[in-house]
Amino acid sequence: MHVTHKPVVGAAPEGAGDASSAARAVREMFTSIAPRYDLLNHVLSFNIDRLWWRRTARAFAEILAQPDARILDLCCGTGDMTFALRKQARKNAPQLLGADFSHAMLDRARSKSLSKPSANGRSASPHWIEADALCLPFPDRHFNLVTSAFGFRNLADYDRGLREIARVLRGGGECGILDFSEPKGLIGQLYRLYFKQVLPRVGTMLSGVRGPYAYLPDSVERFPPPEEMLDRMHRAGFRDASWTPYTFGIAGLYRGKR
């Protein structure tokens, strides 16, 4: 008998019964780990996350070279992807905005911004705004580029998130969603062993909080595979949608043009 699986709507932390409670649970989780978020990211990824951010920023070098470009880094957390975009922009000064719905995460991003001098003294510091990715406080066709690094997966409604990104992008503008995937073969087996057994224990031990690091592997397993994400992007209004795997497919970059 053929079984039809219901498409995943979005993130579903344990105990969340609807989109509103899912969003609230995600916000509470990230608030709880904000003080040690950066340390844990680097330790648990063996510092590979830094390479992923830089590679993603390089992928959009052409847009970042435009001084009048408007760039939004969505679900920016403590700002690492935002800072990678600023560094890639170098002497250019695009309008760079980091947005997140966790106040605690944005506080960390602002603090880091003060300790990171502008490249060549000319690249403008990012601006930070507390905002919900599913209901952005920006007009239609406002940005040349919207990125999101390891945050899109946590949205309570993936399709709504894609439509909102498409809404705020100018015609010809691009989006870049960097997120985890599940590699196949032997690498995939080793990855799942680490992600489901080792990472939650180490993350809980270092952060003192269990929930987020038990949720992380579940959220990756729940996230749509590349072929489904690309189909969702097309339906949301993106063209030339593509997925580029990073580090054996552990992570990957989704790109699309408005």
> If pLDDT is split at 50, 70 and 90, which confidence band does 1 have?
very low
Residue 122 has pLDDT above 70, yes or no: no
Question: Is 0.85 surpassed by the pTM of this model?
Answer: yes
Residue 5 has pLDDT above 60, yes or no: no
Residue 214 has pLDDT above 50, yes or no: yes
| Residue that wins the pLDDT comparison between 108 and 14 | 108
| Residue that wins the pLDDT comparison between 16 and 230 | 230
Residue 201 has pLDDT above 60, yes or no: yes
Say how far apart CA 87 and CA 39 lie, in whole Å.
21
**Gap between the terminal Cα atoms of the chain:** 40
Q: What is the pLDDT of residues 93-106, one digit of tens each?
A: 789 999 999 999 99
Looking at residues 175-185, what average pLDDT do you find?
Answer: 94
> If pLDDT is split at 50, 70 and 90, which confidence band does 4 have?
very low
DSSP line for 160-218: HHHHHHHHHEEEEEEEEEEEE----HHHHHHHHHIIIIIHHHHHHHHHS--HHHHHHHH
| Residue that wins the pLDDT comparison between 153 and 195 | 153
Comparing 11-15, 174-178, 184-188, 234-238, the range with the smallest average pLDDT is 11-15
pLDDT at 3: 38
Q: What is the pLDDT of residues 29-85, one digit of tens each?
A: 888 888 878 877 777 788 899 999 999 999 999 999 998 999 999 999 999 999 999
Domains and CATH numbers, the chain: 19-182+224-257 (3.40.50.150)
Q: Which amino acid is at 9?
A: V
pLDDT at 123: 57
> If pLDDT is split at 50, 70 and 90, which confidence band does 117 have?
low
Looking at residues 103-128, what average pLDDT do you find?
Answer: 80
Q: How many C-beta neighbours within 10 Å does residue 190 have?
A: 12
